[in-house]
Amino acid sequence: MKHNILYLVLVIFLSFAVNAQEIGFINEIGTPKLENVINNDITDVPIVIGKTYSIGTNNYNVSTSTNDSIIMKFACDTAFKYNGKTSVNIDGYEQTTTESEYLQETIYSEYNCNVSLLSGEVEVINNATVDDTNNFYLNTKMACIIFGKGKFITKSSEKSSTFIIIEGTATVMDNLSRKLYKLKEKDIVTVTPRPNLSGKASELLVNKNVVTTSQLDNSDYGVLINEMVLFDKQQKRYIFIALNKTNILTKLK
């Protein structure tokens, strides 16, 4: 992706790799909360739109109340939109960024990100390359989704986890059986706890959650696509720039 920015020269010269992994926030409604968790010590951190936050020994939690919303972007070009009453832990994020003596949009050679959706709902736009060395995992109580490139909605509660593929592909894994489900556009997967049964049925289901699959109908798909278009326009207004061995969140003019 190339952008016309007068002050930005997208030229790689004498490039080298540095370990740098950053996030930033690009839109905020209400009063979302950011907490820094180090050795089980929790500290409130002010959310500043456009500020860069480094992930290292810091494990952040981002949460919203009923009427809150916030968009969080990772330097690997993945964006999360939090809807109300949502909580996400950033459990781990490692990224190797290509840096040069000139300013350039962040280019990574490899990354690995692992987050947990504790409760609520997030919309996800993943533009990051996904392969054997580059992976973006989102964990819930019931299952884990490995994002491919595309647009997704994930929901999680104590009683269920739901994954909706708006565009692109993804893989969902049931946390108990470890069975993988390959998903494509319009697919929906819902994972719920196994029922309390006895006898042979209980033996068969002891290591399995209940996984159901369905598809979005055309009217629902159209509504969700329109929402994603608005989300995409918002998140594209900001990019990460590799500078001084880190990635700096920058708003485009």
Q: pLDDT tens, 96-142? A: 887 766 777 888 878 899 999 999 999 999 998 888 778 999 999 99
Structural domain harbouring 105: 16-243
User: Per the domain annotation, does 10 fall within a domain?
Assistant: no
Q: What is the CATH number of the domain that holds 168?
A: 2.60.120.1440
Assigned domain for 196 exists? yes
Give the pLDDT band (50/70/90) at residue 3: very low
Residue 108: inside a domain: yes
Number of neighbours of residue 28 by Cβ within 10 angstroms? 17
pLDDT, residue 208, reads 82
Residue 169 has pLDDT above 90, yes or no: yes
Q: What percent of the chain has pLDDT over 90?
A: 63
Which pair of tokens denotes residue 111? 């990354």
In a domain, 82, yes or no: yes
Residue 181 lies in a domain: yes
Residue 214 CA: distances (Å) to CA of 87, 150, 167:
26, 19, 15
Residue 2 lies in a domain: no
pLDDT tier at 185, thresholds 50, 70, 90 = very high
Q: Is 175 a member of any domain?
A: yes
The model's pLDDT over 211-231, given as tens digits with 9 standing for 90+, comes to 999 999 999 999 999 999 999
Is residue 164 one of the residues assigned to a domain?
yes
CB atoms within 10 A of CB 58: 14
For the chain, how many structural domains are there in total?
A: 1
Q: Note the pLDDT tens digit of each residue in 8-51.
A: 333 333 344 557 689 999 999 999 999 987 777 889 999 999 99
